[in-house]
Chain A
């Protein structure tokens, strides 16, 4: 079945360490997104990519980095510069080449929960 796979599901990190969250999709979607969710809050956009080898900052990009070397992969690195990295991270994708309203139907992964000790 097609979908988005995020790994790891749970991750613990010591302060000062960088960690990379994996996001892989087999939906042949062009656009991919990373969101952050804090307890009781909505989702905030970190980075997004509409095409391979190109990506843009979202609303809270500081302390994060991404790459998009392959269409199916969009890893997120949480760097030591991120002051409060403990959160639930969600990856999503969409068929960006569509020109109708379906272009905004996002498919989400199951999420990765990062805890900084």
Chain B
């Protein structure tokens, strides 16, 4: 699976959009981009995933560049409860995949009042 690079930390003002970048320059054509987040001392929570088109759900939006070498997770109106570590993961999507996801150190997002 492709390796990802994320900034170690970011700050965001409450109510503003939080834009979390991720670089995955070695991504393969059949690999998806997945985002999870982990609030302190809890288990990680799935947020969103995508292949090449932009995706949106009730939690966030995922913007993937045309060359698929990078992506951005957008939390449109960050709240204090969005303070967490955000993990960007690249993995194949087929069920033949063992499901072994590689969680790096992620980006610690601090939402400030």
Contacts and interface: CB of A to CB of B under 8 A. Distances in A.
A96 B41 CA distance: 26
Interface size range on A against B: 20 to 34
Interface stretch (B20-28, B62-70, B75-83, B99-107): B99-107
A61 interface: no
Contacts of B42: 110-111
Interface in A79-93: 88, 90, 92
Contacts of B32: 101, 104
A97 B96 CA distance: 9
A103 B46 contact: no
A33 interface: yes
Given A41-B105, A42-B104, A106-B46, A99 B94 contact: yes
A90 B45 CA distance: 12
A94 B99 contact: yes
B41 A103 contact: no
Given A4-B43, A99-B95, 20 more contacts: A35-B103, A41-B105, A42-B103, A42-B104, A42-B105, A42-B106, A43-B103, A45-B100, A88-B41, A96-B99, A99-B94, A100-B93, A101-B32, A102-B93, A103-B99, A104-B34, A104-B92, A104-B101, A106-B46, A110-B43
A92 B34 contact: no
